[in-house]
Amino acid sequence: MDLPVLLITNGVLLPEARLKYTLHLLGVSRARIESFALPIASVKQLYTVPGDLNDEIKVEFLRNLKDFLTYLTFESIESAITLKKLLEEKNFDALADFSVAQLREVSFSTMLDYLATLDTSRRVLLANEWIKECIKSQSDPNEQLKRDHHKELVKLGTLIPANDLAKLRDKAQNVVRKYGSRVKSGNSVEALEGKLRDAQLPDGIRDRAWEEYDRLKGMNSQQSEYNVLLNYLDLVAALPWSKSTPDHIDISKARQVLDVTHDGMDKVKKRVLEFLAVRKLTDHATGPILCFSGPPGIGKTSIAKAIAKSLGRKFERMSLGGIRDESDIRGHRRTYVAAMPGRIIQALKHAGTNNPVILLDEVDKLYAGVSGSPSAALLEVLDPEQNNSFVDHYLNLPFDLSNVIFISTANDLSQVEAPLLDRMEVIEMSGYSHREKLHIAQNHLLPRQLDKNGICPDHLIVNPDAILHMIESYTMEAGVRQLERQLGAVCRHGALKLAEALNTDIAADVVPELHLPIVIDRTAVKHILGIAKFERLNLVKKLGRFKPGMVFGLSVSVLGGKVMPIEATTNPGKGKVQTTGKLGDVLKESIEVAKTWIRANSGRLSCSSLTDIDAHVHIPEGAVKKDGPSAGCAIVSALYSLAANRCVRSDTAVTGEISLTGHVLPVGGIKEKVLGAHRAGIRRVILPESNRADTSELDDTIKA
């Protein structure tokens, strides 16, 4: 039966064009153009030639066609109905044409050759081969990546010029060559099998891993659990179950490393050397969990790095600040979407050994939330009796953490939960004196900033007096971070001068001739950094001569020690004491104790009993909350000064607690408080007699 060769689907009238009509034609049957002369073409319809197809080819073609259909999405229901009808009739001629029409990988010229093939058996064989190649490429990640690039290029083809599109196509092919093989080898089950064999898994772990691997091989790659299990086994294979780094402990070298990298801190360095010595003399020593506590910027993290360097072990840092979820430590269970292992397992995977030095940074900033308590999860990690079989929720396999050296840091130990604090040996680290800061700046901070800003040390010289001026007038800190920032500003100023001198296009009257080296003195520091932010003796100069009721107390916080001015005055009244300055309950109780003691001993002290007047005690910086048991002596001094109408020396600070019977009690943080007074220009500090032993930690320059 003769069929139409072409059907007109629609036409467009073009009144302004030379050709008035544009026709859209749809092919219906095979035909060959015999002659073509506008506007008439002579065509001849072609008829297919039945071929001999054996049953084996028919069965294979139908099987491949059904597999191929799983990758197809039909644009209309009519196409699906047509296919169903052809399958029921087993019309291999029409099935071959239908399936080839769905292929996007076949080129246009190849498709024309296929249409010109009249032998039905030949067309079925061609369609079968192309379908098999398509099915194979669908399961190949490398080929899938190529197709994705091809689709994107086709989409962009109408938007990008031909030359740019060709360049983009070349880049896409380079991406496929560079990363395609990695995708293929990294995610294949065969590569995973090799990783598991090379992982040196312990006996119990090995059996569990191969059970999961056998389950993976039985899965279809399209299943949702397939990738979850694949990622899980990748983690199991990547963990260092049996890989460890041998210790190479040289005590003399460790002492040298600590002395070079850290000035002062003799007590801390002594304890670190003792820790290393015990590790050297005892094999498989469990050892304590060291916790370095002190203000920011004093070298807690660098001490931990020095320990790892002395041991020859890998170093991993875990920042715990702000963590509220227990799963960050223990991991998420695999049943959850986007589950991942905890921070401990991730650190071990990144280190590549089962005995690294892991720094738990800022353990005082762990918070309990609705998802559990991270600090409670750390109890198992830091307990030597339990951590030899630590079970991460994601991994769900016991991992031995007994070879790991855990070191923690904290700014405020009062924020660390008691059970967690009990697991650790606390090493207090105090701030630096001016002399120690000067040595650190000369030996470490300035060379680092010169290198960072690309300046030769011979081209920029910062006088020690200028560095000391920066310490006294531009920083007020226990550590050296702010000092390094100021040195960085000085180095950037020098870099600008050097860059301008190298630019020959700038006129000489704009940029004067530069003489090397550039020398930075006090005057240059003031020119570069501007007005001093913290003038030495600023408190004494600011307050001037003291009036009765004024005294300097001392306080200590996570930022170090500082001077705490205390003011007291009187008003007519009935002996009440008013307090302001956002004071805590403990500090208010110290004021009540001081008031009672003054009244009880007013006769012996020859001063007013404060019974016929009201006293008002104020501690400035009202926005900052203040509390603690170390201001009793300073408050007694302020109230006695007020009652006796006598002034306290303005260059003196007082610390210590007082009992109701008048006994002076010892307090903590002596070194930090004295350093804070020294930074503020206080010349004398009165301490409790019981704290005399604490003064041995002070630098001789401060005592003088």
Say how far apart CA 275 and CA 92 lie, in whole Å. Answer: 82
pLDDT band at 298 (very low <50, low <70, confident <90, very high): confident
The model carries a pTM of 0.65
Higher pLDDT, 353 or 261: 353
300 annotated as a binding-site residue: yes
Confidence check: pLDDT of 10 > 80: no
pLDDT given at position 554: 92
Which residues face 54 on adjacent strands? Answer: none
Assign 503 to helix, strand or coil: coil
Question: How much is the pLDDT for 185?
Answer: 38
Kindly give, in sequence order, each residue whose CB lies less than 8 Å from that of residue 531, ignoring residues fewer than 6 positions away: none
Closest to 607 in 3D by CA, of 644, 639, 641: 644
**194 belongs to an annotated ligand binding site:** no
pLDDT in tens, 302-324: 999 988 988 889 999 999 988 88
Per-residue confidence (pLDDT) for residue 82, from 0 to 100:
73
Provide mean pLDDT across the span 428-445. Answer: 88
CB atoms inside a 10 Å sphere around CB 57: 15
CA-based max dimension of the chain: 134
- pLDDT of the residue at 15: 54
Active-site position among 121, 608, 630, 650 = 630
Q: Which helix (H) or strand (E) holds 581?
A: none
Q: Note the pLDDT tens digit of each residue in 649-703.
A: 888 999 999 999 989 999 988 888 988 888 888 889 999 999 998 888 787 777 7
Residue 639 has pLDDT above 80, yes or no: yes
How far are the Cα atoms of 184, 229, 458 from residue 209, in angstroms, in the given order? 22, 11, 60
Tell whether 299 is in a known binding site.
Answer: yes
| Domain range annotation of the chain | 6-45, 55-139, 140-176, 188-238, 251-428, 434-529, 539-703
539-703 is a CATH 3.30.70.370 domain: no
Mean pLDDT value across the chain: 81
Rounded distance, CA 608 to CA 286, Å? 62
Among 155-164, 345-354, 521-530, 560-569, name the one with the lowest average pLDDT. 155-164
Residue type, 513: E
- Helix (H) / strand (E) containing 564: strand 560-572
Note the pLDDT tens digit of each residue in 323-379: 888 889 999 988 888 889 999 999 999 999 999 999 999 999 988 877 788 888 898
CATH of 251-428 among 3.30.310.50, 3.40.50.300, 3.30.9.10, 3.40.309.10: 3.40.50.300
User: Cα separation of 618 and 579, whole Å?
Assistant: 6
Least confident interval from 29-33, 69-73, 80-84, 383-387? 69-73
Question: Does residue 37 register a pLDDT over 90?
Answer: no
Q: Per-residue confidence at 156, pLDDT binned at 50, 70, 90? A: very low
296 is in an annotated binding site: yes
628 is in an annotated binding site: no
Helix count (H) and strand count (E) of the chain?
28, 21
Query: Cis peptide before 419, with omega less than 30 degrees from 0?
Result: no
Alpha helices (H) in 199-265, listed in sequence order: 203-217, 224-238, 251-261
Q: Once rounded to an integer, what is the mean pLDDT over residues 96-100?
A: 79
Tell which wins on pLDDT, 168 or 524.
524
- pLDDT at position 658 is 92
| CA-closest candidate to residue 295, choices 200, 395, 412 | 412
- The pLDDT assigned to 159 comes to 45
**pLDDT the model gives residue 16:** 53
293 in Cβ contact with 409 (< 8 Å): yes
Model confidence at 32: pLDDT above 80: no
Q: Catalytic residue at 673?
A: yes
Selecting among 146, 497, 626, 673, the annotated active-site residue is 673
Please answer whether residues 301 and 307 qualify as being in contact, where contact means their C-beta atoms are separated by less than 8 angstroms. no
Instruction: Give residue 186's pLDDT band: very low, low, confident or very high (50, 70, 90).
Output: very low
- CATH architecture designation of domain 434-529: Orthogonal Bundle (1.10)
- What is the per-residue pLDDT for 182? 43
Q: Which of 135-139, 146-150, 238-242, 366-370 has the highest mean pLDDT?
A: 238-242
Confirm whether 434-529 and 539-703 share one CATH topology.
no
**At residue 157, does pLDDT exceed 60?**
no
Q: Which amino acid, residue 362?
A: E
CB of 180 within 8 A of CB of 146?
Answer: yes
662 annotated binding-site participant: no
Question: From edge to edge, which strands make up the β-sheet containing 315-319?
Answer: 315-319, 357-361, 405-410, 289-293, 424-428
Is 186 annotated as a binding-site member? no
Is 526 among the annotated ligand-binding positions? Answer: no
Q: Which position has the token pair 């379908």?
A: 131
pLDDT (0 to 100) of residue 353 = 93
